[in-house]
Amino acid sequence: MHRAIIFDFDGLLVDTETAIYESWQEVYCRHGESLELETYKQCVGSDFGQFSPETELENRTGKAFDWSTINMEREQIIRDRLAAQDARPGVREFIKKARSQGLHLAVASSSSRAWVAGWLEKLDILKHFHALRNRDDVARIKPHPDLFLAAAEALGIPPGESLVMEDSENGLRAAKAAGIPCAIVTNPVTAGGDFSGALLQAECFTARCIRDLVD
């Protein structure tokens, strides 16, 4: 039995991944290219160390781009599309049930603390988490195990007595490397990935197998 649950953030608690991918698609389209989802998935849950859309576009076009300006434009697109976004269906109920069962909860994300904490505050669910660990806290992010190990340590729960909840292949790799069982809840960007070795896999938090984790 697990005593703690460590959640990813992007794409798991809130579907930010779809808007982020679409922003990259728009950049590629403006330059006569298409960013295939299977190619893009390599960096989901991690960073450009796995795959860089910037480097890929420059290699395809043979051009250099002003990424500072482009990424500011992308960020605005993302924020506009996520302005009214809520937590994914079933997330609030799952978290509340987990807390009622006495489980310790943490978020371990490859994104920045400002991004993650800002969202959790906006959604009024920050209060349910005992710890946050982000890219600011570790030397290596996913698919390395550092974030999940740091979150388990912050909770004071051994990794083997914890459960990771993820949406991406890089997240699953990180959980495996940390020696922590991992349940997968996919989103439109990560659906169809290779989740071999996951404890279980579902498309939403309302799935019976996911609810059973805290029932």
> Active-site residue numbers?
8, 10
* Chain-centroid distance, C-alpha 135: 12
Supply 8's token pair: 């990813």
Residue 7, SS3?
A: strand
Q: Which long-range contacts (CB under 8 A, 24 or more apart) does 199-202 make?
A: 199/163
Give the list of residues 6+ apart from residue 49 with CB closer than 8 angstroms, or none: none
| Nearest Cα residue to 178 out of 10, 4, 43 | 4
* Contact call for residues 151 and 106 (beta carbons, < 8 A): yes
